[in-house]
């Protein structure tokens, strides 16, 4: 029969490996840390009964998970892959296809913007081809633009 200390140690390492393999989940991390703490606790106090081990593991796991969820500030994940965080707002380009409130157009930049020089553009006003326009927002794969005065 495997010693409880080794069981908790192996469980902790396996859960840590699962955390690393499955990026984006932070839940198994707390169970992993709790299992490794149990292995350390059993190394220090080897005569802890199985019932007490399970109770300590459950308390450590769920209390650390609750504390993490309470203080974790979720970051904004609404951006798309490849989009800069606000760097494109304020960039000026040339409209190469007229845009209006009812029809999207195309805007071109001298330097690439988020990996491309030409983007689908939308606006709340008519902006004729050849006019300069400023990016005021990014909506999915479309740039919201406004006419320069």
CATH of the domain at 104: 2.40.50.140
**Residue closest to 36 by CA, chosen among 16, 63, 64:** 16
Do 62 and 103 lie in a common domain? no
Is residue 113 a part of any domain in this protein?
yes
Q: For residues 20 and 18, give the distance between their C-alpha atoms in angstroms, rounded to a whole number.
A: 5
Q: What mean pLDDT comes out for the span 79-105? A: 76
**Residue closest to 105 by CA, chosen among 89, 94, 91, 116:** 94
The H-assigned helical ranges of 45-140 are 50-71
Do 66 and 13 lie in a common domain? yes
Model pTM score = 0.48
Question: Are the C-beta atoms of 62 and 69 separated by less than 8 Å?
Answer: no
Number of domains in the chain: 2
Do 63 and 96 lie in a common domain? no
Do 63 and 13 lie in a common domain? yes
* pLDDT for the residue 23: 63
Do 136 and 100 lie in a common domain? yes
Range of the domain at 24: 4-71
Tokens of residue 98, six digits: 């007229």
Is residue 85 a part of any domain in this protein?
no
Q: What is the DSSP letter of 101?
A: T
User: Which residues lie across from 138 on neighbouring strands?
Assistant: 143
Q: Are strands 116-122 and 142-147 parallel, antiparallel or unpaired?
A: parallel
Is residue 87 a part of any domain in this protein?
no
Question: Are the C-beta atoms of 131 and 92 separated by less than 8 Å?
Answer: no
pLDDT digits (tens, 9 = 90+) for 40-64: 999 999 999 999 999 999 999 999 8
Is residue 25 a part of any domain in this protein?
yes
Share of the chain above pLDDT 70, in %: 84
Do 96 and 46 lie in a common domain? no
- Higher-scoring residue by pLDDT: 86, 82: 86
- Does residue 144 have a pLDDT over 80? yes
Q: For residues 141 and 125, give the distance between their C-alpha atoms in angstroms, rounded to a whole number.
A: 19
């Amino acid at each position: 029969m495997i010693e409880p200390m080794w069981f908790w140690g192996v469980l902790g390492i396996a859960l840590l490996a699962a955390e690393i393999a499955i990026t984006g989940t932070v839940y198994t991390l707390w169970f992993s840390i709790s299992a490794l703490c149990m292995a350390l606790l059993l190394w220090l106090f080897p005569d802890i009964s199985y019932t007490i081990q399970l109770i300590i593991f459950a308390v450590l796991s769920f209390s650390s998970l609750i504390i993490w969820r309470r203080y974790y500030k979720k970051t904004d994940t609404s951006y798309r892959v490849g989009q800069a965080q606000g760097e494109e707002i304020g960039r000026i380009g040339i409209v190469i296809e007229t845009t209006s409130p009812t029809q999207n157009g195309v805007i071109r930049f001298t330097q690439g913007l988020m990996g491309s020089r030409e983007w689908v553009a939308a606006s709340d006003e008519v902006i004729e081809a050849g006019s300069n326009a400023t990016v005021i927002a990014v909506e999915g794969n479309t740039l919201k633009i406004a006419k320069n005065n």
